[in-house]
Structure 1
Amino acid sequence: MTSSEAVHQTAKPRSGLRHWFSPWRLVMLTLLLLGLGWIAKRMWFTPPPAPQVATSPVEQGDIEEAVLATGTIGAAKLVSVGAQVTGEVKRLTVALGDTVKQGQLIAEIEALTQQNTVRNAAAALDIAEAQLRSKQAALKQAQLAAARLRELVAVDAGARADLEAAEATLDTSKADIAVLQAQIVQARLAADTAKVNLGYTRVTAPMDGTVVAVVTEQGQTVNANQSAPTIIKLARLDTMTVKAQISEADVPRVKPGMPVYFSLLGEPDKRIEVKLRAVEPGPTTLATDTTTSTASTGTTSAIYYNGIFDVPNPQGKLRINMTAQTTIVLAQVKNVLMVPSAALGSKGKDGRYTVRVLEGPRIVDKPVRIGLDNRVKAQVLEGLALGDRVVTSEAAAPGGAPAQSSGPPPRM
């Protein structure tokens, strides 16, 4: 074997090693090592992912428990001013929207018939008084005649029959006078009534107020024989009364004196605050007498009771029959810690609720003492701090299964 052949045989193993450590094999080996390292990190060195849940921070604010009702605004006092006599409205002295004072003239009705009645009553009274004076004179004459006959009979100078006739005439005169006196009383009453009826032809305002409706126009004839016809409607608008319909389920919780606020449809963002004055003892259908008929027919309908409160109206913005979106406040707390009511879990025997709190990647169960809860927000008395994030609901994990967490499900 020559030396060149020996060298060639020695170089063969080195060429095979270089072939094994070729660049593409090195790249594949590197990728394999990197993949194994990534799998090892995921399995043993990567922290678990944060739970997929919906959270809400603990906030500070106001909470109130309230009853909602729809109310109708009305005048604190509304009077229908009508005519008590029949006749033509000769003059109407007010117009719609006028402000009137008590005793102010509203309308004048044709008064000729009433004036004639007054004259007839006065004449009848004069006749009765004249008849009384005539009977009184006749009584005096009968008294004198009876006295003379008594003297004559006493000395046997007169007939007893004449005396008895004179005494009978005297008694008749006295009875006639009593009748005439009663007739005079009747005549005076008739005269007074006629004067009152004459006064009814001048319709005056029974109170201070505003003319909110003109029902009868000038020149129209009113007939008071069947019912008192309305000429105008007069209302006190400086104070309005609201009747809010409260459902029978909420009525037991509503008491007079509770805070109330409402808004108008035209100004939904403006709140007007007052106090509840009263709650009517009967349902709203009582005035229409539909309760009995509903019960007899077996028809089921919602029952409402009117909650009543008064509202000052110095600027006249509130008008009759406006709708008031009313809120009656049953309880309220201000500037307190609060969480969504959906975050409250089960309630323990000690009265505390379990709330799930997100702390970094973990969910921790915490016992919390709750105050006022209006089913939307709940007052936190103890157990949480401002800014804590409480779990309100769980998000679905891949595959549709709920995300795993260490606490109980939220309270429904």
Structure 2
Amino acid sequence: MNRRPVRRLILVVVGVLVVAAVVAGFLLATRPEPQTAVVERGSLEATIETVGRLVPRNSITVRSPVSGKVQIVAVSPGDAVEEGDVLVQLDPKPFEEAIRRAEEQVDAAEAALNLAEQRAGDNPSPEQLAARLTAEQQLRDAQRALDDARAARDAAMILAPRAGTVLQVQTAEGAPLGTGAEVAQIADLNDLELQVDLDEIDLPHVPPDAPVTFTLDAYPSDEIEGRLERISPTAETSGGTTTFRATVRFTLPEGLVARPGMNADVSIKTAVRSDVLLIPESALRTVGRRTFVTVLVDGQEQEREIRIGLRSGGMVEVASGLTEGERVVIP
């Protein structure tokens, strides 16, 4: 029997197996290591990023207490004023005329009272007594009208109720001004607050007195620290979005000059986790409500279920399922 073909076949098979083993070894040796991240301890902060605007903390709207025609506007936006400074002077002529008429009424009432007293004498009749009482009331009414006319004349000089800076002047010389009409706005520019509109979705996550950091567009490299002071109990809706107005109290760093209306990029800190296990959020795989990662153990990949906590900035807190120093695969 010829054994040569059989030997040749065996040698070919062995050769193929050797080549396959070499190729497999080469592929295994050259396969790239999976990208991994080490489970480390650290701190994590959750923030809400939004925008805000500086506004005066105590802006005052000055209104005209009387009606009249504006004669003089004594201030312009940006002017510094002290309490009692003149803002606007109304034309005094109508007020002086009203005082003159009121004085005439007082004189007439005094004359009528003197006549009634003379007629009544020491033993007045009921009619004379009634006439005297009526004359006394008319004098009181006339005197009150005179006092009101003088007060109106004084009020025609509209004064600053407090020291501050004039933000707006809302009238002009020669313009009519009604009682209660807005004349000017005054504020203390050294006492500003930051206003932020919080989305209703974020509101439940914002704790009272939350720390806040922000930068003004005018000073993008200067970070300013503050704290959330209050949140409006009423919502504002615009364009289908519901927000709540929040105010932030802060102190400006020395050398920074801020003005009402300046815009700010705002970061509100909503939660902090210290000394917790952290991994990149990209390592997670979610199936329904369960969360998994792939752990590299002695070069072998193992799937493991974990529990997670806070997420922020691409990192996630690991509540259970991993230990410090382990490596997770980044897909």
TM-score, reference length from structure 2:
0.79
Asked if residue 235 in structure 1 is aligned to residue 187 in structure 2, the reply is: yes
Report whether the alignment pairs 1:279 with 2:231.
Answer: yes
Q: Residues 43 and 244 (structure 1 numbering): CA distance in 2 closer, same or farther, change over 3 Å?
A: closer
Which residue type is aligned with residue 252 of structure 1? P
- CA distance in 1: counterparts of 2:268 and 2:181, whole angstroms: 40
> Where is the helix percentage greater, Structure 1 or Structure 2?
1
Decide which of 195, 205, 211 is 2:150's aligned counterpart: 195
Task: Identify if the C-alpha distance between structure 1 residues 58 and 270 changes in structure 2 by more than 3 Å, giving closer, same or farther.
Answer: farther
What corresponds to 2:293 in structure 1?
355
Q: Report the AA paired with residue 300 of structure 2.
A: R
Q: 1:240 to 1:45 in 2, by over 3 A?
A: closer
Q: For 1:198-217, what aligned pairs fall within 5 Å after superposition?
A: 198-217=153-172
Contact 1:73 1:240 in 2 (8 A): yes
Q: Aligned ranges for residues 266-345 of structure 1 at < 5 Å? A: 266-285=218-237, 301-313=240-252, 317-334=257-274, 336-345=276-285
Aligned-partner Cα distance in 2 for 1:72–1:60 = 37
Secondary structure of the corresponding residue to residue 142 of structure 2: helix
Q: In the alignment, which of 125, 138, 145 is matched to residue 119 of structure 2?
A: 138
CA shift at 1:171, angstroms? 1.0
Q: Secondary structure at the match of 1:363?
A: strand
**Identity among equivalent pairs (%):** 24
Amino acid at match of 1:193: D
Matched, 1:87 2:27: no
Q: Give the structure with the higher percent strand.
A: 2
Assess, with a 3 A threshold, how the Cα gap between structure 1 residues 339 and 266 changes in structure 2: closer, same or farther.
farther
Partner of 1:399: none
Q: What does residue 392 of structure 1 align with? A: 330
Asked whether the equivalents of residues 225 and 251 of structure 2 are also in contact (C-alpha less than 8 Å), the reply is no
Aligned Cα root-mean-square deviation (Å) = 3.4
Residues 70, 177 of structure 2: 8 Å contact kept: no
Q: Following TM superposition, by how much is the alpha carbon of 1:59 offset from its aligned partner in structure 2, in angstroms? A: 5.0
1:109 corresponds to 2:93: no
**Offset of 1:203 from its aligned partner?**
1.5
SS of aligned partner of 1:356: strand
Q: Which amino acid in the other structure matches residue 226 of structure 2?
A: V
Distance change in 2, residues 1:345/1:36 (3 Å): closer
The 1:185–1:316 alpha-carbon spacing in structure 2 relative to 1, beyond 3 Å, is: farther
Helix, strand or coil: the match of 2:59? Answer: strand
Cα 1:49–1:367 change in 2 (3 A) is: farther
Alignment-derived partner of residue 80 in structure 2: 99
Matches within 5 A, 1:177-188: 177-188=132-143
What TM-score comes out, normalization by structure 1 length?
0.65
Partner Cα separation in structure 1 for residue 121 and residue 281 of structure 2: 103
Count how many residue pairs are aligned between Structure 1 and Structure 2: 315
Which of 191, 196, 221 matches 2:174? 221
Counterpart in 2 of 1:372? 310
Q: 1:358 to 1:122 in 2, by over 3 A?
A: same
Contact 2:80 2:164 in 1 (8 A): yes
2:100 aligned to which of 119, 143, 146:
119
Q: Which amino acid aligns with 1:238?
A: N
How far residue 86 of structure 1 moved from its aligned partner, in angstroms, is 1.0
> Residue type of the partner of 2:270?
L
Shift of 1:98: 2.4
- Residues 72-123 of structure 1, C-alpha deviation per residue, up to 9 Å, x if partnerless? 321112223243331232361x343222222223233331221232232233
Deviations 1:236-291 (A, max 9, x none): 22222333222222222324322222222333443322221222222224xxxx8x
Can you give the 5+ residue segments of structure 2 that lack an aligned partner in the other structure?
1-13
**Is the Cα contact below 8 Å between 2:218 and 2:262 reproduced in 1?**
no
Question: 1:12 corresponds to which residue?
Answer: none
Cα 1:113–1:75, aligned 2, differ >3 Å: closer, same or farther?
Answer: same
TM-aligned CA deviation for residue 194 of structure 1: 0.8
